[in-house]
Chain A
Amino acid sequence: MSGTATAVRTPVVEVDGLHHHYGSREALAGISLEISRGEIFGLLGPNGGGKTTLFKILSTLMPATGGIVRVFGHDLVREPDAIRRHLGVVFQRPSLDSKLTVMENLQHHGHLYGLRGTALHTRAEALLERLDLGERAHDRVETLSGGLQRRVELAKALVHRPDLLLLDEPSTGLDPGARRDFTTYLGQLREQDGVTVVLTTHILDEAERCDRVGILHRGKLVALGTPDDLKGRLGGDVVVVQSVNPQQLQVKLRERFGCEPVLVDGSLRVERPRGHEFVREIVDAFPGEVQSVTFGKPTLEDVFIHLTGRRLWGEEANGGAAA
């Protein structure tokens, strides 16, 4: 009894003080986090934030230059093969052989994990059915559309029944509909097979649907929690103001309302409870200077802006946060 209790409590992934350097460039600057069994965990951040480096380390492709990573209790450096057996990986770049058929790709993959014969074939067929790929089983991968190829990638990563699924930017090249299907399917995997999912993403939508999110910026984990928890840390609603002269309005807003507007990509952002009332107050106070005002519940991007002063994609904030 106590044995199973311990097994449940043992985190699937433990990362402690993880560092990584490419030459003198520091890609990961001390990351620590734990991921529990059955969780869908998202690593959110801009390109170059350290997501891909962390992904490569977790998928055993690259040893880190410092720190400890344990997966299923096994040390990543000393026992990579014990980990690899339980690991399913979907890479950002395609990893299918385009000259082989869909089924051949799955079989080849199964053989690498010691599966064979009818058992393997049945498993592969069932996966293809489940992912709605049954009819394309005997087509060469090069004849499939990009979206279908992504689905084959997922099927391939699942052939050997992994307990931990790592996905690097899984929805690259998927339209929003296909992206939703993909997320739904990940949810099913967690419910039915108890699979733990770790994915990297720069798409807010995808991050919002994770159980927990870690936000990576310049090699540091700047936030860690459930999406609601992270958004709740902001001061209520987010009000965004467009103006002909945002710098000037920034000063005026600060003087008038005692708030701290942040200038990001030419628009002013204010975190404020009861945002709808604030919208009216702004328009009343500076009718000539406001082009448009929008307000909304904070998104994870707002969390990111709040923490780093810049958008997930795009330009650095122009000084607002520091002022």
Chain B
Amino acid sequence: MRGLVLPVMTLCWREVVRFRRQRSRLVGAFVQPLVFWLLLGGGLRASFQPPGTPPGTSYVEYVYPGIIAMVLLFTAIFSTISVVEDRREGFLQGVLVAPIARSSIVLGQALGGTTLAVVQGILFLVLAPAAGLSLTVSSVLSVVPVMFLVSFGLTSLGLVIAWRLDSTQGFHAIMNLILLPMWVLSGAFFPTTGVPAWLGWTMQLNPLTYGMAALRRCLYLGNPTAAGAVPGMASALGITLVFCILAFVAAADAARRSAA
């Protein structure tokens, strides 16, 4: 067991150090969602009151948990891009010839991305008052583990793709095709209620819908109606957990299949 922890921790630590030393990534993962929030929240404030949002909720507030999910998504994605870079630049070769299982390598990478995402998610929580949301201690304590789960699932999903690709261009294409739509259709942007049936189905099949629901339920821990018409806490957490496990297993499998 100890033999497993050390390699995993060192791979995770490296992701964090690299992130700290590449300022531009901080901008991509943190400032960009912030700008999105200001633009969407400000721009749609007057016109946007979809059915299903609790009365009295402004759009700025509605989209705030969604922007947290975006922070998690972007951070997770950017850190999985580093896998593609590691392969292209050669760093991965040295890791692959070490006496550690591919699944440990993937776990280290996933935890690295997750750590970065959660730290930025927590930083974003500080902005809750600007959304008109007053957070209780218990909602902060519950939302952090949920952010961890959602980030771990998203990072693992990113890794499934990253281990199969050899160019960052390819990664960007897939990100725009899969990951961004996942975010848009998760209830981050607009609720399931009031959309055409086919879209509603798509949203219900989207695993991130449940992560999004878990985030909302935790942020409005003492006030469930304010969370809106989203899946209940149990199914939200359960499905998110299953998604995490499946995504990790798929990533470990992709890593095993990948030749150097």
Contacts and interface: CB of A to CB of B under 8 A. Distances in A.
Contacts of B94: 89, 91, 95-96, 109, 156
B172 interface: no
Interface stretch (B3-11, B33-41, B162-170, B233-241): B3-11
User: What does DSSP make chain A's interface, helix, strand, loop or mixed?
Assistant: loop
Contact of B91 (A89, A96, A107): A96
A111 B260 contact: no
Contact of B7 (A60, A81, A111): A111
Given A111-B7, A114-B3, A61 B14 contact: no
Interface in A153-190: 156
A205 interface: no
Nearest to A62: B259
B10 A112 contact: yes
Interface in A54-83: 56, 59-62, 81
A117 B18 CA distance: 21
Contacts of B260: 56, 61-62
A59 B92 CA distance: 13
A89 B91 CA distance: 12
Which range holds the interface residue count of chain B?
Answer: 20 to 34
B180 interface: no
B12 to A, nearest CB: 11
Nearest to A110: B10
Interface stretch (B52-60, B97-105, B138-146): B97-105
A99 B21 contact: yes
Given A56-B260, A61-B260, A99-B21, A113 B99 contact: yes
Contacts of B90: 91, 93-95
Contacts of A59: 97
Interface of A: 56, 59-62, 81, 84-85, 87, 89, 91, 93-100, 104, 107-109, 111-114, 116, 156
Q: Which 9 A-B pairs have the closest CB atoms?
A: A111-B10, A95-B94, A84-B99, A61-B260, A93-B90, A112-B98, A81-B99, A85-B99, A95-B90
Given A96-B94, A99-B21, A109-B98, 5 more contacts: A60-B97, A61-B96, A85-B99, A97-B14, A111-B6
